[in-house]
Amino acid sequence: MARRPRILMMVVTLLIVAAACSSGNGGGGSTGPGGTGTGQQGGTFKFPLSADPTKLIPQNDYEAAGAQVFNAIFTRLMTYDADTNAPVPAQAKSVTSDDQMVWTIEIQPGWTFHNGEPVTAQSYVDAWNWGALGSNGAILNFFFEKIQGYDELNPAKGDATTTELSGLKVVNDTTFTVTLTAPFSQFPIELGFDAFDPLPKAFFDDPDAYNEKPIGDGPYMLTEWKHDENIVLERYPDYQGTPGYADRIELPIYSSTDASWADFQAGNLDISSVGSSNLVDAQQNYSDSLTEQPSSLFLYLGLPLYDPRFQNKELRQALSLAVDRQAVMNAVLVAETPADAFTAPVVPGYQAGSCTYCTYDPALAKQKLADAGGWQGTMTINLYSNDATLEQAMEAIGNQWKQNLGIDFELNVMNYNSYYDTTINHKFTGPWWDGWVMDYPSLEDYLRPIYGSTGGYNGSGYKNPAFDSLLTQGDEADSIDASIAKYQQAADIVAEDMPVIPWGFLPSRYVHQPTVTNVHQAGPLNNLELADIQVVQ
C-alpha cells in the first residue's frame, strides 16, 4: 500500500506545519522540556487545529489534525527521550528481543481505557489485527507488513483466509509476542507511532460510532467533536500515568491559518503555531512568548528519474548546485534553513553537510550539466495550489536555473488530489515540490519510504540494489545504535545519486498568551504536548 505522507498538503502550501507529524507520548507532564509533572492543575485553554480530522481511529488516520488529538487521548507503547530521541517505554513496561525478529512486549498493569475497560495485551493484538486486515481499509495497514501473516490478511487476489496475524501471540493479560518476517532493529522506535495504539472492545462493536467519539487510554478523553467546528478534551480522572494539567482543552477547527492567527491576535485563542506568513508578526509582537524547537520536516524537490531526461545523475547534481537556497529563503521563505543532508537534524545519525551537492556552486553546476549532455527544452516545475509565497519561491528557483544553467522553465500549478496521484503514479515531467516528516525518529524512516525500491512514497522511481542492501543490513543490526552506521552508508549513496534535491528544514514555532505556560512540542515529533500546558490562574 502506498504511503501518503501527512505532511504533503501542508508542505506544498507552506501552511503552519508545527502539528503535522506523529503523535507524542500522550503521557502527561513529565517527559517534555519544562514538563516537571508538578504544578497547579485546572482551567481551560484553546489551541487551533488546522483542519477537521479525517478519522479518529488511530490505525485509520494519517494527517496532522488527527495526530494532534491522538497525542492527548492515547499513550504510546513507547515514547522518546527528550535529549537523545531514543525510544523509552511509556505504556509498555519493556520491549525486548534476542534476534531483532521475535519481540516480547510487556505492558504496564492497571491501565484502563476511558470507558473503564482494562488495557490488556489482547487490546493491542486485536487492534493490530484489525489494522492489518486489508478488507478493513485502514490507511496505516502497511505498518503491519513486517509481522508474520500479513500477506494472508492482504492477498493480491481474493479474500483473506484469516483475520489474525500469525505473528501475534497473547501470553497473558500484560504480555504478547510479535514475530516479524525478518529482523528489524527499529521496531521499538516504530512503536511510538499511532498505528500501534490499542483499541477497546467497544470499537469492534461499532467502528463508525467509535470514530465519532474515540475511547483512548491517554491523559485526556474526547467528550465532543463537532465536525469542522470544535473538539473538546477533558482530563481522564483514572489515568495511570502523569496526569495533564488543564481540566479541559478546546481545539477549534479552522480552514484558514490567516483566520486562526487573527483569532489569536484578538485573544480568542491561547496558543498558536507560527508559519512563514506570520513569523515576522510573531517576532515583532509576541517575542516574549515565541518559542522555537527543531522539527522533523525535510523539504525537497522531487525529480522524475522515470523520465529519460532525468536519468543522468550529473544533471540532477547540476540542478542542485545551481540554486542558492539561502538567497531564495532570505527573499521569500523566511522560516527555513537550507538542507545540507537527506534527513532532518533531529533524527539520531543525522550527518551535517553530507549532501555535498547542496552547496551553491554555479561553475561546478555548469560543468556537471555539460557532462550530462546538457538540457533541451523547457523545465516544468510543479507545485500545489495557488499559494503566492510558494509560487514566488519556485519561480526564484527556476530563475536561478535559467541564469546559471541556461534552462528555460514554466510553473505548473495543480490541485492537491491530482498532485498526490501524479506523484505516486510517476507522471510528473519535471521537478515537484514535496516534503516528509518522520513517523518515528529513525534514519530508516527517512530513507526506505522515499528511496527504497519498494518504498511507499518513492515518487522519483529511484532504484539502487546497493542502497536497498544497506537498508537491510541496518534492519538486521544487533541494536538501534549499531544500525545507524549502515543507514548512514545508505544515505551516502543517495547523496551521490541525488534522486531528489534537498531544499530546507523548518522548525516548529509557537506563541502563547499570558493565560498559559509550559508550551512546547512533543520531543522530536511535531505535535504540541497538550498535557504539559498549564493554565495560569
Q: Could you read off the pLDDT of 377-396 as tens digits, one per residue?
A: 999 999 987 677 889 999 99
Confidence of residue 21 (pLDDT cuts 50, 70, 90): very low
242: left (phi over 0), alpha (psi -120 to 50) or beta: beta
Torsion of CA 320, 321, 327, 332, to 10 degrees: -10
**SS3 per-residue string spanning 371-413:** HCCCCCCEEEEEEECCCHHHHHHHHHHHHHHHHHHCCEEEEEE
Give the model's confidence band at 157: pLDDT under 50 very low, under 70 low, under 90 confident, else very high: confident
Q: Assign residue 28 a region: left if phi > 0, alpha if psi is -120 to 50, beta otherwise?
A: left
Beta partners for residue 235, in sequence order: 220
Q: Are 314 and 364 in contact (CB under 8 A)?
A: no
Q: First and final CA of the chain: distance in angstroms? A: 49
CA distance 341 to 504: 9
Record the cell numbers describing residue 182, joined without a space.
525478518
Nearest to 23 by CA among 521, 516, 512: 521
Beta partners for 251? 231
Average the pLDDT over 256-279 and give the result: 91
In whole angstroms, give the CA distance from residue 272 to residue 251.
11
CATH 3.10.105.10 domain extents, the chain: 298-505
The mean pLDDT value for 509-530 works out to 90
271 contacts 512 by C-beta, under 8 angstroms: yes
pLDDT tens digits, one per residue of 418-473: 888 899 899 999 999 999 989 999 999 999 999 999 998 999 999 999 999 999 99
Instruction: Provide the β-strand partners of residue 178.
Output: 103, 168
Round the average pLDDT of the chain to a whole number and report it: 91
Task: Give the gyration radius of the chain's Cα atoms.
Answer: 23
User: Which has the closest alpha carbon to 195: 257, 129, 255, 134?
Assistant: 129
CATH class of 8-260+508-535: alpha beta
pTM attached to this predicted model: 0.90
Q: Which of residues 431 and 258 earns the better pLDDT score?
A: 431
pLDDT of residue 335: 66
* CA pair distance 225, 236, nearest whole angstrom: 17
**The pLDDT value given to residue 384:** 84
Contact 19, 437 (CB under 8 A): no
Confidence band for 517, pLDDT divided at 50, 70 and 90: very high
CB atoms inside a 10 Å sphere around CB 330: 11
pLDDT over 70 for what percent of the chain?
92
Rounded distance, CA 36 to CA 24, Å?
16
Residue with cell 497473558: 172
Q: State the pLDDT confidence band at 154, using cuts at 50, 70 and 90.
A: very high
Which residues, other chains included, contact 126 with Cβ-Cβ below 8 Å and sequence gap of 6+? 199, 201, 204
Distance CA 57, CA 71 (A): 13
Residues of the chain with CATH 3.40.190.10: 8-260+508-535
In the block, which residue shows the cell 549532455?
373
Strands (E), 245-309: 248-252, 271-273, 291-293, 298-302
Question: Cβ distance 5 to 21 under 8 Å?
Answer: no
pLDDT digit string, tens, across residues 22-68: 333 344 333 333 334 456 899 999 999 989 999 999 999 988 899 99
pLDDT given for residue 276 in this prediction: 77
Distance of CA 338 to the CA centre of its chain: 19
**pLDDT at residue 10, as a whole number:** 44
CB atoms < 10 A from the CB of 499, how many? 24
d(CA 274, CA 282): 7
Q: Could you give the angle at the alpha carbon of 75 between the alpha carbons of 73 and 76, nearest 5°?
A: 130
pLDDT in tens, 57-110: 999 998 889 999 999 999 999 999 888 888 999 999 999 999 999 999 999 999
Q: Estimate to the nearest angstrom the gap between the alpha carbon of 454 and the chain centroid.
A: 19
Which residues have a Cβ under 8 Å from the Cβ of 311 and sit 6 or more positions away?
A: 305
Q: How far apart are CA 165 and CA 128, in angstroms?
A: 8
- pLDDT of residue 505 exceeding 80, the answer is yes
Residues 170 and 187: beta-carbon distance below 8 Å = no
Task: List, for residues 193-233, the tens digit of each pLDDT value.
Answer: 999 999 999 999 999 999 999 999 999 999 999 999 999 99
What whole-number distance in Å separates Cα of residue 6 and Cα of residue 18? 12
The CA dihedral of 251, 252, 254, 257, to the nearest 10 degrees, is -60
Residue 258 pLDDT: 85
Amino acid (1-letter code) at residue 439: D
Helix (H, G, I), strand (E, B) or coil at 498: coil
Percent of the chain with pLDDT over 90: 80
The SS3 of residue 299 is: strand
Alpha-carbon distance of 503 to 320, in angstroms, equals: 9
**What class has domain 298-505?**
alpha beta
Tens digits of per-residue pLDDT, 333-345? 766 899 999 999 9
- Tell me the residue length of the chain: 537
